[in-house]
Chain A
Amino acid sequence: MAGSGPTILIQGGGVSGLVTAVTLAEGGARVTLSEAGPRIGSGASWYAGGMLAPWCEAEAAPAEVTRDSLQSLSWWADHVPGVVRNGSLVVAPPRDQVELSRFGRRTSHFETLGSARIAELEPDLEGRFDHALYFPEEGHVDPRCALSGLRERLLTLGGKIRLDSSVKDGSFDWVIDCTGLNARETETNLRGVRGEMILVRCPEVTLHRPVRMLHPRIPIYIVPRAQSVFMVGATMVESDDSREITVRAMSELLNALYTLHPAFAEAEIIEANAGVRPSYPDNVPRVHRDGQRLSVNGMYRHGFLLSPARAAEAAGIIFGDQA
């Protein structure tokens, strides 16, 4: 293993665990990552949208989320292939136009587009919406590709990955708990927020960027992925329930997809899933320290957006202590 830096055990191989592991390994730490599940990213990260949208998130998140997530676009572009920086688009059905103006009042760094510009950016949406908000600086990434990219990166940096939760933590200089809801015994104010998502394949429609479809009851987003696959997400239910996707959620997601473009009616449903997001009461991810133990948790729906900032915070504590 490279370096003579501190030895660190990172528990949890979701997005926060992997980003923290890579960040620390790059700083010279000797990192071992343990994951209790059958593979890397078997928790909530696997079902993420992968939108790198600091400004759109300001619609419902406090200013610190936007501030801390600005670095995430370049962080991901520097670390994994396939980061797309085409911005994001926000639209609303004709009768819900007030939702669009509300969204605009809460956010910044966007342009208001008319139908001609919408058609230029997304030819397949020509004639479907009169107005849209365009956030040109945002991006997106396929979370599953990104997680496996980080795994490779960690191994290249000399990190070890153990699919085994029984790694003894006593022999490490530091232990970092990134186990999400599994950390509830120590992180007692964590709660679960259930999310449901669908993957469809639809060669008839091409989108170049994530599209958020506003609706007073069921706001959803559609993120394009490789090979004509689209991710449709995501519900937000105050619940720890991780059972399969419900009929209600599926019909809401699919209805919204169909509203975006009727050609999605012929799309093939290739996956439908549910996950539970670990969340603190203010829905903002946090780093906590207890002696030589750190916890990076509460990613809520900001795992890909805020892991780089929280990992940097953890690295600051660890390397600051070494100095």
Chain B
Amino acid sequence: MRVYGTELTSPLMLGTALYDSPAILAESVRVARPGVVTVSLRRESAGSQAGQAFWELIRGLQVPVLPNTAGCHTVREAITTAQMAREVFGTDWVKLEVIGQGDLLQPDVFALVEAARLLTEEGFKVFPYTTEDLVVAERLLRAGCEVLMPWGAPIGSGRGLNNLFGLRALRAHFPEIPMVIDAGIGRPSHAVTAFELGYDAILINTAVAKAGDPVGMAQAFHLACEVGKLARAADPMEARDMAVPSTPTLGKAVFAS
């Protein structure tokens, strides 16, 4: 996937939270070979530079970092966090999350568009975490975003792609825009489906971090991304309403007896 002029080495984006230890995180990253890792500043730092040791660890993974604004509920919070991330990681990329609803961690799309506009004006390259809403997507692009990150399902829920129709419509409506399924992917099969729908990348965290064997699951997702991309490129057959035998039975009858 090419985004903001940069070609990512893999369509897998991997979050760095919730692992049982940094050692397991590092091993999962090594196996998953993600194109970027995401890191949350707000929660991990308790609002200061005190998260340095963990950030150092993230930088040590040797994978491009996409800082996020997870846990931010207002435009102001998100912008402050993005500015801090730029300082800490030396990147103008930011995954923009503005949460509007606590229970489902649903994006506040109004604040999201506003924050995306302000951050773009400040020179940030914004990766917005949004819903599959076409109108919001349009507004985000107008605000300066060059990539869209619709949810598959609520963050950490592992419910997969909840609204296939909506995700198809979004994909079809903006065929040229790089798009990432962000949030909700729980299993490698969900990832494969995302690529089959034409999405360019996926972002996962809990699905790997909270698997019984995170490193094994990291490998499974690495392969799922390969499978999904290959399947998409190979132009899958359409579902039909009637059976079509793969061996012509007509000819067979003649030669069989």
Contact surface of A with B, Cβ cutoff 8 Å: 60-61, 102, 105-106, 190-192, 194, 216-217, 237-241, 243, 246, 280-284
Contact = CB atoms under 8 A, between A and B. Distances in A.
B212 A282 contact: no
Contacts of A238: 44-45, 51, 53-54
B23 A283 contact: yes
Contact of B23 (A190, A192, A243, A282): A282
B26 A281 contact: yes
Contacts of B87: none
A281 B22 contact: yes
B38 to A, nearest CB: 14
A239 B22 contact: no
A216 B205 CA distance: 14
B24 interface: yes
Nearest to A99: B210
Given A60-B20, A281-B23, A239 B45 contact: yes
Contacts of A61: 20
Contacts of B43: 237
Given A105-B212, A216-B156, A240 B53 contact: yes
Given A60-B20, A105-B212, A282-B24, 13 more contacts: A61-B20, A102-B210, A190-B53, A238-B54, A239-B45, A239-B50, A241-B45, A241-B48, A241-B50, A246-B46, A281-B21, A281-B57, A283-B21
Contacts of B163: none
Given A216-B156, A238-B51, A191 B46 contact: no
A174 B75 CA distance: 57
Nearest 10 CB-CB pairs, A to B?
A191-B53, A241-B50, A282-B23, A238-B54, A283-B21, A238-B44, A241-B46, A281-B23, A240-B50, A281-B22
Nearest to A190: B53
B80 interface: no
Given A238-B54, A239-B54, A240-B53, A191 B22 contact: yes
Contacts of A102: 210
Contacts of A283: 20-23
B9 interface: no
